[in-house]
Chains A and B, each alone.
Chain A
Amino acid sequence: MPLGATKSTGIAWWYLRISGLLAITLVLWHLFVMHYANAPSQTTTAFVSARWLAAFWRGFDWALLFLALTHGLVGMRNVIADVVPNVAARRASEGILGLCAAVFLVVGTSSIVRAASGIGARGPLSGATWLVGALDALLAAIAMIAYLTILAIALAIVLRLAYKLPLGWWQFHGQWAWALHRATGVGIFLFLLVHVLDLALLPLAPNLYDATVASYANPFLMPMEIALVCAVIYHALNGTRLWILEFFDERTTTAAVATFAGVLVVTVALVVPSIIVLVHHG
């Protein structure tokens, strides 16, 4: 094996752990502000522009953007390595993904930088009302994929049980912990891309931004918001669990099951208040 490949996979592994750990505090704080202290539909142009006048929040949001995008990029690289066996196709997907992440980092950064001098009532793209529809369609597409995936998984489990087939890997807690970590990771990454796009409207078309935020209260998307909160909390907690298993507890066997159960219980407990906030303001 060439030493270069060895080094880059090692660095990627460390980066995933360290960026994840750094992102946890930021993302939970972000989640608290946007889904607990306020309902997402309340985070209008006025709300975000007032927030981004403060250098602290601009720095906070940029750091979160950078960590989430790069952490997602490295994570997606692992997903690609596992699902694309063909080397040329894998390199191509990695290239597209890298380019995509770079573009979104630039778009996100410029939104934050532009907001520093305040957001006016209208922007250069204020007339392009089709953008709202396009973003809504993207969110609806992600929601549709998520709903269909959940349905397919439920169906697969029911069929296996009905035909009395052994659950195989799916009887191991670690398999579920990993699959949920992956699924939530991919989901959060896709949402992050749409989120960068909708925030790009803030300086470019503030009037349209309010329309996209309002669509968060759409009944078809509302379960997705709950799922998003669930996904972020689960991914953060299970990431912490992985840290514990890999870095602190060398007696991995004893801690693994209990910590996974803990992650599930705490995730559900933390999601409930956000559902109350969402329904109350919905």
Chain B
Amino acid sequence: MNALKTLRIRRYEPAKDSHPYWASYTIEAKPKLSVLDGLFAVLEQQDGTLGFRYSCRAGMCGSCAMRIDGREALACRMRLENLGSTVTVEPLRSLPVIKDLLTDMTPFFEKYRRIEPFFVGSRPSFAQAVPEPERVDPSQPLRKSADRAIDCISCGACYSACPTVATNPAYLGPAALNRAFALAADERDRDGKRLSLVLGAEGVYGCRSIGNCVSVCPAGVAPLAAISLLRRGKVKKD
């Protein structure tokens, strides 16, 4: 017999509801069922108005990040059998709710965009001939530190878990700063502005070294480590 699980979901539709409220749904949890599967069971069998976001269902896209029992996680990677009989599901923090578990990621990506999150190469144009491809020594310490930083899937879990993001709306947040580190640590990158954008009170010095970002990251990234390396001046650009 399959176990019965109660999903206690924080529901809110700003256009309709005056304030958020809790709604509970009891579902049959087959072995290996994920929280995301549980949400689908609710959507298909009990309440077709439930709002949530998902895409790959395999922990790679980062779309289904939400708070499960108060802790930021990917709904598709959390198995109901490993959780209690009542599972609390809430949307990410510090982001406006569009509907129920669906948050508007705009503030997150606006900050992400501010740090110039793209690689800037040395070639002014494709027409210019490059005699030799640029190489990065894989054993170089900075390259090794960047290894984990590049695994970020931009799900927003760290952004939600960070109390500094909640108290300081200007703070860029762990994901954007981690991305800034990953790019700055790449010696081929020629962006001259990025470091000056992140080395301030709204950037790495706004971080209070709490480390919730490291505790929740579903991709095993340690944004705090990236921020510490930036603060310590381990990354320098000419």
* Residues in A lying within 8 Å of B, measured CB to CB: 1, 3, 5-6, 9-10, 12-13, 78, 81-83, 164, 166-169, 171-175, 177-178, 242, 245-247, 250-253, 256
Contact = CB atoms under 8 A, between A and B. Distances in A.
A281 B174 CA distance: 50
B164 interface: yes
**Shortest Cβ-Cβ A-B pairs, 7 listed:** A166-B70, A174-B211, A9-B205, A246-B228, A178-B210, A6-B200, A9-B201
Interface in B188-238: 196-197, 199-203, 205-206, 208-212, 214-216, 220, 222, 224-225, 228-229, 231-232
Contacts of B205: 9-10, 12-13
B168 interface: yes
A6 B215 contact: no
A172 B211 contact: yes
A172 B215 contact: yes
Interface residues of B, number: 39
B231 A246 contact: yes
A250 B201 contact: no
Contact of A82 (B90, B164, B216): B164
B22 to A, nearest CB: 10
Given A83-B167, A166-B90, A247-B228, A174 B201 contact: no
A253 B70 contact: no
A235 to B, nearest CB: 14
A3 B69 CA distance: 42
Contacts of A173: 211, 215
Nearest to B229: A250
A168 to B, nearest CB: 5
A252 B141 CA distance: 16
A1 B208 contact: no
A81 to B, nearest CB: 7
B212 A250 contact: no
Listed residue (A78, A173, A178) with the most chain B CB atoms within 10 angstroms of its CB: A178
Given A9-B200, A9-B201, A178-B210, A245 B163 contact: no
Contacts of B215: 172-174, 253, 256
